Structure 1
Amino acid sequence: MSEKSLLRRSIPFLLTIFIVVADQLSKAWIVANVPQGTMYASYLNDFISIWHVRNQAIGFSIGAGLPMVAKILLFIVLPLGILTFMVIFLLRTKELTGLQHWLSAALVGGGLGNIIDRIFREDWVVDFVSLRIYGLFGLERWPTFNVADSTVVVAGIALMLTVLFGGRSREKQKQSADGTD
């Protein structure tokens, strides 16, 4: 792989860094300014509220009752392995479009944001955004989330849509133009 090619594939990881920094700064602000378990503010007639809560599991508190060893394996070790694989794949592959590289880098950033919490914060992941969903799915409020969670969901959905309905990678376009597809 040429240095130019590696550099081009590395640039989306600037987004990874930005997401991790934004996620960690927002969580640090919440920890410093909002006592755990309390609401800081409510906006738009309580549609959005800012809380300081902790989650020792994953989305919707799935796995909260697992033993700590299982949590470490499932919520730290396994995700770190997956993210490591993703980074290596993204640096080597020619199969993804530029947009897919950027979306994948965003996924890595979101994943790292929460893994950092799981490793370095005593009560694990800091969540702070709560949305009122008016009984949708039988819930009055959506489970509280953070910047990393939002990034994983939005980038993940967008990435799936590009895979299902998106264009082809530059390499595939070049092969088609050369008649080698």
Structure 2
Amino acid sequence: MNQNTKNKLLPLTLSFAVILLDQITKCLVVKFIPRLTVFADDAVIEIFGKYLRLIHVRNNAIAFSMGSGLSDGLRGILFALLPLFVIIAVYVIYFRNNEFTKLQRWAVCGILGGGIGNLIDRFFRPEGVVDFVDCYFFGLFGMERWPTFNFADAAVVVCGIIFVITFVFQVKSDRKNNKKE
């Protein structure tokens, strides 16, 4: 196996780790935390008071519950099949691209692991994706609490930010080097 192949395969361990941690945490939440309803007083576990809590909610839409008003069939196509095709396309691009930096490869694999983690819920949890991290948001942007999320969501956001930052620095560096020539 050549070095280029090894450099592409090693970051896949992050994808597997994100999927594994995401599914384990979701299974624990489903098993030990009752679904949050107005009648479930024991459904909130405070970690740092009102600032960080664990709750058990389901999201049958996408980020910030966008699309929750769509029909079940349309949601299934838009939020399960379309992401599946996007994930496959990104993996194909990932393996064909030789321009990604090492950090960008790890970031892409973290994003893909998070995407697959939530996709597993979309296919195997008809009630929706399990979300459980609930953070106080200090009323910023009119929100008392940040929308509830899970480990997969966090991986997508953190790795997405890392990817964008490294991409911006790479573009700036390329422009600087082109001006010198």
TM-score by length of 2: 0.88
Unmatched segments (≥5 aa) in structure 1: none
Once the two structures are superposed, residues 73-97 of structure 1 have per-residue CA deviations (whole angstroms, 9 ceiling, x without a partner) of 1111111111101111111211110
Once the two structures are superposed, residues 89-125 of structure 1 have per-residue CA deviations (whole angstroms, 9 ceiling, x without a partner) of 1112111100000000000000001000000012110
1:30-179 pair list within 5 angstroms:
30-37=29-36, 38=40, 39-166=43-170
Once the two structures are superposed, residues 28-67 of structure 1 have per-residue CA deviations (whole angstroms, 9 ceiling, x without a partner) of 0000001111534112231001000000001110000111
| Counterpart in the other structure of 2:25 | 26
SS in 1 for 2:133: strand
Equivalenced residues, count: 171
For 2:119, give the aligned amino acid. Answer: I
For 1:20, give the aligned amino acid. Answer: I
SS in 2 for 1:129: strand
The two structures, once aligned, show a CA RMSD in angstroms of 2.0
TM-score by length of 1: 0.88
| Counterpart in the other structure of 1:9 | 8
Q: What is the aligned-residue identity percentage?
A: 38
For 2:28, give the aligned amino acid. Answer: W
Question: What stretches of structure 1 move > 2 A for 4+ residues in a row?
Answer: 2-8
Q: Is the 8 A contact 1:126 1:146 kept in 2?
A: yes
Unmatched segments (≥5 aa) in structure 2: none
1-side partners of 2:19 and 2:160: how far apart? 16
